A and B are shown apart, each in its own frame.
Chain A
Amino acid sequence: MKKAKLLNSRQMANFAARGFLQFNSLVPAALNRSFIKAADANRIPQVRAGVAWSDAYAKNSTLFKVMRLPAVAGIVQSLVGKNPIFDHHFLHVAMPPAFFAKRGREQRSQTTHQDSTIDPRFANFDLQLLYFPHEVTAKMGGTRFIPGTHLRKVSEASVGRYQNMVGQQHVVCPAGTVLAMHHGIWHGGGINRTSKRRLMFKVRLNPTEPQCRLWDTGDLSEEAGEQRAIFWADKQDPEHIHSILCKREEWFEADTGRLEYLNRIRFWRNLVGDPTFDADYWLTRIENMPS
């Protein structure tokens, strides 16, 4: 088996800040075709929750080959370690308009929600892999998600009141694309307005070890721990870890957007195993309590 291709620190910081990473055309065409064939034949296997990820799929099955691709295995290892647990998987199918018309049903999008239930964990998180085996066009209503919502503590479909949010994204991607998502990110399925059905395969994995420095940390410089001049007019390096962690989303409220920075920095502290890490002085200021 080829060695897993681990994520780098910039990718991890982007995951910490935005709750997702997108990898276009990661899965080769032959495996995509094989997966679609298996889906069409209803041959997606039933797998018990709680089994070792390494035992989830039969050796040499299509899903085994997809998940053991070095890039996919590297995403998994970087985020939930070498020995995660299989939680569940599900084949999401968005049917075309004719399907609903035939049944006299209204075709509606899925309301925005956070998966599972209220999940107050902070130091640990689950990984959700979204695999798109065929091209997804804008008309196909690919998964809608709101970057940066993953650290908000809400109760599943309670956020359904928000029909639309500024900065929401709709997955439009080539075949073989994989999205890695934090379990908390707000999302929902869109309406498929084409004549073909849309497929998306999602699998959720739980960690079995502290999610600390599991990626390739070779590029994690000591400078990332040093403070920069803040509220300064000079353009900051957008690829600096601090810049990534303190980049606002379009939907941020003026005040809670700053709380998102605090939460991201705390999340990053756990990822790098440094309880003193700070970005742009946000936590240092409020943790300063001389006695």
Chain B
Amino acid sequence: MNARQQVLILYLTTSSLDSPVIAWAFHDGTGRDTHMAGDNDEPPYDTGLDALLDGWRLLQMSPLLPHASGDEYDTSYLKYEFLFEKLIEVTT
């Protein structure tokens, strides 16, 4: 199998995979497509589950961590990251 990886990262509103997408990134290991910051204002899927239904394989989801004492109300990075892949056959 001569395959390349496509990677989709979705950020959801909650830790649940079927919650709405609020941010995303896409990287294409086949080299057929180029994506970059600000290239699309519409999310590729409504929810993380919709990505599964479209054939994306879930590789990782962010853990739920307790809040450090004193930092309970700080906000920083997006919390609910879900990493997906597709393997695409290529001819070389």
Q: Which residues of A contact B (CB under 8 A)?
A: 106, 108-112, 141, 144, 151-154, 158-166, 168, 170, 188, 190-191, 250-256, 259-260, 262-263
Contacts and interface: CB of A to CB of B under 8 A. Distances in A.
A163 B39 contact: yes
Contact of A263 (B40, B75, B79): B75
A164 B39 contact: yes
A160 to B, nearest CB: 7
A153 B74 contact: yes
Given A144-B37, A188-B37, A164 B76 contact: no
B14 A164 contact: no
B77 A164 contact: no
B75 A162 contact: no
A21 to B, nearest CB: 21
Contacts of B24: 162-164
Nearest to A260: B75
B75 A188 contact: no
Contacts, number: 94
B41 interface: yes
Contact of B78 (A162, A164, A190, A191): A162
Given A153-B74, A163-B38, A255 B14 contact: yes
Give the one of B13, B14, B21, B25 with max A CB within 10 A.
B13
Contact of A165 (B22, B74, B80): B22
Given A152-B76, A162-B25, A166-B22, 11 more contacts: A109-B37, A152-B77, A163-B24, A163-B25, A163-B35, A164-B25, A168-B38, A191-B36, A252-B13, A255-B79, A259-B75
A164 B74 contact: no
A226 to B, nearest CB: 24
A162 B36 contact: no
B50 to A, nearest CB: 15
A170 B19 CA distance: 26
A191 B19 CA distance: 31
Contact of A253 (B13, B25, B37, B41): B13
B82 interface: no
A112 B37 contact: yes
B77 A159 contact: yes
Contacts of B41: 164, 166, 168
Contacts of A162: 11, 23-25, 37, 78
A182 to B, nearest CB: 14
Nearest to B40: A164
B56 interface: no
B82 to A, nearest CB: 13
A160 B37 contact: yes
A84 to B, nearest CB: 27
A106 B26 CA distance: 18
Give the one of B14, B23, B41, B74 with max A CB within 10 A.
B23
Interface in B34-49: 34-41, 43
Contact of A109 (B25, B38, B73, B79): B38
B9 interface: yes
B37 A154 contact: no
A152 B77 CA distance: 8
Contacts of B25: 161-164
A154 B74 CA distance: 10
